[in-house]
């Protein structure tokens, strides 16, 4: 077992919903008690559908949003015993700067992450300038570009002159400029074609080996997650419903949602047993008004319609409203946790 | 059903002519789900837009024939094409929110198609049930206009009360009163035949409370529901063929599974032919019977799904299949075809 580099304890982030008068009427529970431990040099995957809190989790990890409660505890590896506190929320501005040097981010849409009016050399050297590492900057930028399979000839070009895959390489080069220990990858390949996706995934694996990087890999594509990650957390409505090593989770899923998610992924194996998940994605809004507060656990109208339509077709199904009940996390196997009865 | 022969499409741009399609041959039979896969820029969508003559002004079909049920529609008139689009071929686009009109209710949008393609059916239903054809007798302006009239009236009423001239506000009070009176008198008038047809179209795609959904605007619905409304629109004209251009790319996997299941069910019920355009080989493997792989404006391989995934013949198909992570940790084989450059 290797060292943990970061641990998240009981993290909650609730966004208030206001009415016209400015009083809170409801909460969007984007994160509702997340506990995770991230190991050094490994890839930690987070899956879930849109609106389950993946991105909010990433943003709280970078302290781009302040959590409502709970904490992110940094290891000595990151703090290097120079910070007053290991708790992310208690860092001073100066410490936060040095923390952000240790953590790089790659976003989903590379064109949105690159300034269209900056040259590649300026884009990649920007973090170096901000953190005052301006010695031999040109050589450093060329080295970074070489690392990701680009070269000196690309220095004086604009982002629009590159293809999608190359743009993502530039974003990765920029994220690596300050030699971070952790790289947060938010759906890095979802905007790319499969062949380009394969190139980027291979590149990420090479870089991880070379620099002993820790990846936090957010995706909704399970085949990519299975290929990249060592450990995996499945999120649903702001909570982690299952967490296990990738192989264990893919061979032995316990939570009904994980099972449905695994079987919903389009697959080449037609005989594989299918579990349909019925109903629409529930809204994460919780009303403060008691009468509206509870998420319905009984079957809704749409679900009843859908059940009727697939009856007698030999398909297994689960109903979404049955997932709204909150159960405690239980150990169901070796380092395998799930919220099941 | 649909036959495309040696189709060639060019785009005229400032940088020269882009040959988007280089002789595409496709045959889609009755009651068949046909998959068309390829990467970005390979010409999948251009194929379907050329077939329906929906190309932008810069695009132009320069060669080949398109046959629909044996009829050559390559040089069909605009009137005939309007009958075909929606009436004989329904189409679903990738992003439902940008394909639906944001300022029209679902009712109006589906109604539009029904009036264009199913006019005789609506009239039949109306005479059968003795109900109005298009509009119910309810005289109702759009909610926006009603709200504006109300707001004007109320502001004038309060203005005159403040000025101490209550009598001047009486006409405005009268207007407000009449609006409430009208709503009260007209609350029991039945739906028109068109309304009933819309509700029927919505319940065919398994939407709950079709009556309520018919009155909502697209942004009030979730992504899965919007795509269901799109499918209802495509089916409303009783089309015998459905073209689905990346219908599930904008959706989550669990919702994607629902929508694919719905398309499969409807295809079976109505014995339609479906042309499914996608970049996801998994979706094709699960839904389609036959599949064609496109690369650089050409179809490089066409076969049944089982054969193409078990024994891919063309180099590009093999490369594409190898690039997908399929469990296991061995290094992915990157296709040596390179990234799609400019054509």
Residue identified by tokens 């849109």 is A50
Please, is B58 exposed, middle or buried when counting C-beta atoms within 10 Å of its C-beta (0-12, 13-18, 19+)? exposed
Residue for token pair 């700067």: A97
- A288-295 long-range contacts (CB < 8 A, ≥24 apart) are A288/A24, A288/A25, A288/A26, A288/A27, A289/A25, A295/A321, A295/A324
Q: What is the pLDDT of residues A103-147, one digit of tens each?
A: 899 988 888 899 999 999 999 999 999 988 888 899 999 999 998
B177 compared with A314, residue with greater pLDDT: B177
Alpha helices in B74-192 (DSSP H): 78-87, 96-99, 106-117, 119-129, 143-162, 170-185
Check B285 against A268: CB less than 8 A apart. Answer: yes
Please name the residues in contact with B150: beta carbons below 8 A apart, sequence gap of 6 or more.
B176, B179
Q: Can you tell me the mean pLDDT for B275-299?
A: 88
Query: How far apart (Å, rounded) are the C-alpha atoms in residues A45 and A214?
Result: 11
pLDDT-derived band at A223 (thresholds 50, 70, 90) equals confident
pLDDT, tens only, B304-328: 988 888 888 888 888 888 888 776 6
Compute the distance between CA of residue B7 and CA of residue B16 in angstroms, rounded to an integer: 20
End-to-end distance of chain A based on CA atoms, in angstroms? 29
Distance CA B262, CA B206 (A): 8
CB A196 to CB B339 under 8 A?
yes
Look at residue B194 in the predicted model and tell me its pLDDT.
86
ipTM: 0.79
Q: Per-residue confidence at A168, pLDDT binned at 50, 70, 90?
A: very high
B-chain CB neighbours of A198 within 8 Å are 322-325, 332-335
Q: What angle do CA B97, A52, A67 make, to 5 degrees?
A: 120
Joined tokens for residue A60: 């709280």
Indicate if the pLDDT at residue B76 is higher than 60: yes
Alpha carbons B58 and B107: distance in angstroms, whole number: 34
Facing B325 at nearest CB: one of A224, A261, A264 = A224
Report CB contact under 8 Å: B285, A270.
yes
| CA–CA separation, A277 and A297 (whole Å) | 15
pLDDT for position A217: 93
Chain A neighbors of B282, CB-CB under 8 A: 223, 265-268
Q: B81 or A298, which is more confident?
A: B81
At A242 the pLDDT is 92
Please answer yes or no on whether B323 and A197 come within 8 Å at the CB atom: yes
**CA–CA dist B343, B339 (Å, integer):** 11
Helices (H), ranges, A7-66: 54-61
Cβ-proximal residues to B175 (8 Å cutoff; 6+ apart), any chain: B149, B153
pLDDT of residue A295: 56
Contact present, B175 and B120 (Cβ < 8 Å)? no
Measured CA to CA, the distance from residue A177 to residue A101 in angstroms comes to: 9
CA distance B38 to chain A (A): 9
Q: Give the residue with greater pLDDT, A341 vs A96.
A: A96
Q: Look at A194 and B340 and tell me if their CB atoms are within 8 Å.
A: no
How many Å separate Cα A180 from the centre of its chain?
17
Average pLDDT over chain A, rounded to whole? 85
Q: Mean pLDDT over all residues of chain B? A: 84
Dist. CA B280–CA B246, nearest whole Å: 9
Higher pLDDT pick, B292 / A263 = B292
Q: Contact A195/A163 with Cβ under 8 angstroms?
A: no
> What mean pLDDT do residues B124-152 have?
74
Spatial distance between the Cα atoms of B242 and B33, rounded to a whole number of angstroms: 9
> With contact defined as beta carbons under 8 Å apart, do B152 and B175 qualify?
no
Q: How far apart are CA A184 and CA A167, in angstroms?
A: 17
| B260 neighbourhood in chain A, CB within 8 Å | 266
Instruction: Answer whether A227 sits within 8 Å of B320, measured CB to CB.
Output: no
Q: Give the mean model confidence (pLDDT) for residues A233-257.
A: 90
Helices (H), B271-314: 281-287, 305-310
Give the pLDDT score at B341. Answer: 45
> In the numeric block, which tokens belong to residue A219?
């995706």
- Model pLDDT, residue A118: 93
Judged by CB atoms closer than 8 Å, whether chains meet at A163 and B39 is answered as: no
Angstrom distance (rounded) from CA A149 to CA B57:
39
- Nearest CA-CA partner of A88 in A104, A76, A99: A99
Residue A272 has pLDDT above 90, yes or no: no
Q: Say whether pLDDT at B338 is over 60.
A: no
State how far the alpha carbon of A69 is from the alpha carbons of A11, A65, A83, B219, B302, in Å: 6, 12, 21, 33, 56
Highest-pLDDT range among A270-279, A282-291, A322-331, B49-58: B49-58
Cα–Cα distance measured from residue B17 to residue B333, given in angstroms and rounded to the nearest whole number: 34
Q: Averaged over A50-73, what is the pLDDT?
A: 87
Cα gap A75→A214, rounded to integer Å: 13
State how far the Cα of B139 lies from the Cα of B189, in Å rounded to an integer.
11
Using the predicted structure, report yes or no on whether residue B342 has a pLDDT greater than 50.
no
Q: What is the DSSP string of A299-319?
A: PPHHHHHHHHHHTTTT-EEEE
- Is it the case that residue B213 has pLDDT exceeding 90? no
Q: What is the pLDDT of residue B339?
A: 47
- Give the other-Cβ count within 10 Å of A173's Cβ: 23
Q: Which residues of chain B lie closer than 8 angstroms to A260, CB-CB?
A: 254
B63 burial type by CB count under 10 A (0-12 exposed, 13-18 middle, 19+ buried): middle
Q: Please answer whether residues A36 and A44 qualify as being in contact, where contact means their C-beta atoms are separated by less than 8 angstroms.
A: yes
């Amino acid at each position: 077992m290797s060292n943990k580099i970061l641990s998240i304890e009981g993290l909650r982030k609730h966004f208030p919903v206001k009415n016209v008068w400015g009083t809170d009427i409801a909460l969007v529970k984007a994160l509702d008690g997340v506990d995770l431990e991230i190991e050094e040099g490994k890839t930690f995957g987070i899956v879930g559908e849109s609106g389950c809190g993946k991105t909010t989790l990433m943003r709280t990890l970078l302290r781009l949003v302040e959590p409502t409660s709970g904490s992110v505890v940094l290891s000595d590896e990151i703090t290097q015993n120079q910070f007053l506190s290991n708790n992310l929320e208690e860092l001073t501005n100066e410490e936060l700067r040095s923390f952000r040097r240790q953590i790089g981010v790659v976003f989903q849409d590379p064109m949105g992450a690159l300034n269209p009016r900056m040259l590649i050399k300026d884009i990649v050297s920007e973090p170096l300038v901000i953190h005052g590492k301006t010695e031999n900057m040109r050589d450093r930028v060329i080295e970074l570009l070489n690392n990701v399979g680009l070269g000196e000839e690309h220095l004086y070009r604009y982002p629009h002159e590159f293809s999608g895959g190359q743009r993502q390489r530039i974003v990765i080069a920029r994220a690596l400029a300050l030699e971070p220990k952790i790289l947060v990858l938010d759906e890095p390949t979802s905007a790319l074609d499969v062949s380009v996706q394969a190139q980027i995934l291979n590149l990420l694996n090479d870089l991880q080996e070379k620099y002993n990087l820790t990846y936090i890999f957010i995706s909704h594509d399970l085949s990519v997650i299975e290929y990249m990650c060592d450990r995996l957390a499945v999120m649903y409505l702001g909570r982690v419903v299952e967490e296990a090593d990738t192989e264990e989770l893919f061979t032995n899923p316990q939570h009904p949602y994980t099972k449905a998610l695994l079987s919903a992924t389009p697959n080449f194996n037609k005989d594989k047993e299918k579990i349909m998940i019925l109903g629409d994605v529930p809204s994460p809004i919780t009303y403060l008004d008691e009468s509206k507060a509870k998420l319905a656990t009984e079957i809704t109208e749409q679900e009843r319609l859908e059940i009727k339509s697939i009856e007698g077709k030999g398909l297994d199904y689960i109903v979404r409203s049955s997932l709204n009940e909150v159960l405690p996390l239980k150990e169901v196997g070796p380092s395998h946790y799930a919220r099941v009865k | 059903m649909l036959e495309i022969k040696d189709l060639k499409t060019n785009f005229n741009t400032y940088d020269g002519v882009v040959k988007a399609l280089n002789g595409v041959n496709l045959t889609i039979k009755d009651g068949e789900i046909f998959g068309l896969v390829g990467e970005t820029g390979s010409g999948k969508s251009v194929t379907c837009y050329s077939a329906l003559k929906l190309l932008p002004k810069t695009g132009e079909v320069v060669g080949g024939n398109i046959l629909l049920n044996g009829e050559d529609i390559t040089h069909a008139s605009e009137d005939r094409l309007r009958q075909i689009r929606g009436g004989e071929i329904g189409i679903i686009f990738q992003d439902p929110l940008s394909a639906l009109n944001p300022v029209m209710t679902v009712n109006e949008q589906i109604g539009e198609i029904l009036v264009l393609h199913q006019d005789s059916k609506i009239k039949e239903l109306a005479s059968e049930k003795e109900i109005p054809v298009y509009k119910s007798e309810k005289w109702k302006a759009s909610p926006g206009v009603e709200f504006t009239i109300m707001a004007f009236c109320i502001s004038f009423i309060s203005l005159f009360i403040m000025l101490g001239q209550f009598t001047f506000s009486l006409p405005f009070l009268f207007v407000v009163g009449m609006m409430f009176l009208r709503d009260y008198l007209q609350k029991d008038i039945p739906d028109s035949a068109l309304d009933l047809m819309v509700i029927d179209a919505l319940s065919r795609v398994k939407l709950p409370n079709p009556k309520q959904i018919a009155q909502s605007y697209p942004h009030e619905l979730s992504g899965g529901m919007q795509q269901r409304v799109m499918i209802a629109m495509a089916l409303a004209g009783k089309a015998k063929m459905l073209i689905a251009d990346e219908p599930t790319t904008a959706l989550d996997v669990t919702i994607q599974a629902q929508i694919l299941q719905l398309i499969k069910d409807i295809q079976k019920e109505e014995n339609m032919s479906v042309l499914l355009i996608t970049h996801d080989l998994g979706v094709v493997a699960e839904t389609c019977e036959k599949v064609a792989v496109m690369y650089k404006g050409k179809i490089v391989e066409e076969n049944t799904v089982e054969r193409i995934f078990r024994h891919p013949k063309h180099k590009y198909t093999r490369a594409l299949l190898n690039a997908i992570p399929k469990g296991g940790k061995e290094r992915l084989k990157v296709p040596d075809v390179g990234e799609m450059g400019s054509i």
